[in-house]
Amino acid sequence: MILCVGTSGCGKSVLLKCLQNKNNLAKLKADLMMSTIPTVGSNLVTLTRTRMKKNQTLPPEEIIIREVGGTLAPLWHSYVESGNIKGILFLVDASSPETIGASTLYIIELIGSQPATVNLDVMVVFTKTDLKSGRSLSELKAIMRLDQIVAMTNQKITSLTFNTETMANLGEIHDWIMQFSLPKVTVKK
């Protein structure tokens, strides 16, 4: 399971919709036209991938993502179940200067003070970089002092940008998540 967290309105639900529909552009565009309601509590999303190897279809793989609403930030640590969570997908709204500082504190608190997070990989996704107030990746990393956070932890922390205008890096985010997937279990009747 992947834990997906970020401040309210940073785009967690939108990113998960994009990941679920990345191979169906028409459905994705229709989903994005609808307004997103802020997540209250948590949602579970399953991503499935079918792979080919030498003209042979391999069994499908799947991973569950638990999206936890931004209003629950003080409780995010309680969603890190030792042995069950394989990675943390941490979203930051690049267009909102007032939440970047809060995001910095939240990520330090989440990965720096929780024993269950010590060996977890983390992907920091800076969203909404297509908006006028969006910043570059290097500027965002500097504002958050992400290099210092990386130096102080044992986690492998990856960072990149994402926006719904170009869908830039959607494949990289999907691949990062799917590295933790397991073969899909089918129940025979």
Q: Is residue 50 one of the residues assigned to a domain?
A: yes
Domain of 26, CATH number, reads 3.40.50.300
| CA dist., res. 184 & res. 64, Å (int) | 11
Torsion of CA 60, 63, 67, 73, to 10 degrees: -170
Give the pLDDT confidence of 57-107 residue by residue, as tens digits: 878 889 999 999 999 999 898 898 778 899 999 999 998 888 999 999 999
Looking at every residue in the chain, the average pLDDT score rounds to 85
Closest CA to 126 of 90, 87, 88: 90
pLDDT at 28 over 80: no
Give the pLDDT confidence of 158-185 residue by residue, as tens digits: 999 998 888 889 999 999 999 998 766 6
Q: Is residue 189 one of the residues assigned to a domain?
A: no
Mean pLDDT, residues 38-51 taken together = 85
pLDDT at 128 over 80: yes
> Could you tell me the residue range of the domain that residue 26 belongs to?
2-183
Mean pLDDT, residues 43-57 taken together = 84
CA end-to-end span of the chain: 26
Q: Is residue 80 one of the residues assigned to a domain?
A: yes
Q: Which amino acid is at 155?
A: Q
Helix (H, G, I), strand (E, B) or coil at 135: coil
Q: Which amino acid is at 116?
A: A
Q: 92: which 2 tokens?
A: 């930051």
Instruction: Indicate the number of domains in the chain.
Output: 1
Q: Is residue 61 one of the residues assigned to a domain?
A: yes
The pTM is what? 0.88
pLDDT of residue 66: 95
Are 94 and 140 within 8 A, CB to CB? yes
| CA dist., res. 148 & res. 146, Å (int) | 5
Q: Is residue 188 one of the residues assigned to a domain?
A: no
Q: Is residue 165 one of the residues assigned to a domain?
A: yes
Q: Is residue 161 one of the residues assigned to a domain?
A: yes
